[in-house]
Amino acid sequence: MAEGRIVKALSGFYYVKSGEEIYQCRGRGVFRKQKITPLVGDFVTFESTNLDEGFITDIKPRKNELIRPPIANIDQAIIVTSVVLPDFSPLLLDRFLVLIESKDIEPIIFISKMDALSETMIEKIDYYRKVYEKIGYPVELYSVKDNMNMEPLSRYLANNVSVIAGQSGVGKSSLLNKLKPSLVLETGEVSESLGRGKHTTRHVELVEINNGLVADTPGFSSLDFDNIQLEELGNCFPEIAMHSTSCKFRGCNHIKEPKCAVKQAVEAGDIASSRYDHYLRFYEEIQTRKPRY
């Protein structure tokens, strides 16, 4: 019996790294009966007679997991968003942040394609960088094309399990190729007419970069809030969670309640109005979603 971590899942096989070796394993039938699916990132116990014929016998408890992409035990999520093509969208960035916060994963914001930054966009990007840094999120601006600020980016990866998230076309694969050229990940150019990149990443795999493990994933194929409850939403906005402790009423939703410390903080400029607007928008979305049976 040996122990290791699943670093890749492909066509029903799980590739388990134990020491310096990688073992090709299948899951035991018992997992199917229990409706447990081994995930990339899982710590497992397995038995094997050689590198090609192993069986996973046990999956250790997970500290967190994502369904799309299917991966477990993540330390941080690097959200890649671009200046243009596709255009920088604070609303979309906040959707990613809320989803990641809801999973107890540390978010980091990378803003790509800084070489394409126009005069008119400089103020906007600078404003939002300050908004997110004030909340406590690390924000890094970079350009793969101009090799700008690439070295600091790789430092985030050291000794961490990271997932790279972001909409298609923002440059997730280009970033990983730059940080580890031997990967040669296929990059999808952005379709000018649709403003969307082609989905190029086919399976989930943890690759070693700068003494850390990184999953290049197909972004989040779903950005809905199906698993977030109304009362949890405020906790997914750290600045709202912080100010909510001063609200007059327990269970304040920060919408129409009197003496709401969150609304006061928005008026005082301590919470960015864009973030509060997005909170209201997501609140309404969760409130009006159809129940699932």
Location of each CATH 3.40.50.300 domain in the chain: 66-216
Q: Please report the pLDDT score of residue 232 as a whole number.
A: 96
CA-CA distance, 157 to 179, in Å (whole number)? Answer: 10
Residue 191 has pLDDT above 50, yes or no: no
Q: Please report the pLDDT score of residue 215 as a whole number.
A: 86
Location of each CATH 1.10.40.50 domain in the chain: 230-288
CA 205, distance to chain mean position in Å, is: 15
Q: Mean pLDDT, to the nearest integer, of 122-129? A: 97
What's the pLDDT tens digit per position in 29-51?
A: 778 788 888 999 999 999 999 99
Location of each CATH 2.40.50.140 domain in the chain: 2-61
User: For tokens 């409850």, what's the residue?
Assistant: 229
Torsion on CA atoms 88, 202, 67, 72, rounded to nearest 10: -100
CATH no., domain 66-216: 3.40.50.300
Q: Please report the pLDDT score of residue 218 as a whole number.
A: 53
Residue 9 has pLDDT above 80, yes or no: yes
* Torsion sign, CA atoms 208, 148, 189, 168: positive
CA-CA distance, 61 to 39, in Å (whole number)? Answer: 12
What's the pLDDT tens digit per position in 194-231?
A: 344 444 445 788 999 999 999 865 556 578 898 899 99
Say which CATH topology domain 2-61 has. OB fold (Dihydrolipoamide Acetyltransferase, E2P) (2.40.50)
Q: What is the DSSP letter of 291?
A: P
Return the CATH number of 230-288, one of 1.10.1030.10, 1.10.490.10, 3.40.50.720, 1.10.40.50. Answer: 1.10.40.50
Kindly report the pTM of this predicted structure. 0.89
Q: Pick the residue with more confidence: 43 or 68?
A: 43
Q: Which two tokens stand for residue 78?
A: 């690097």
What's the pLDDT tens digit per position in 217-269?
A: 555 657 889 889 999 999 999 999 999 999 999 999 999 999 999 999 999 99
Which residues lie below 8 Å from residue 72, measured CB to CB, with a gap of 6+? 39, 40, 41, 42, 62, 63, 64, 65, 66
Q: Please report the pLDDT score of residue 187 as a whole number.
A: 62
What's the pLDDT tens digit per position in 95-119?
A: 999 999 999 999 999 999 999 999 9
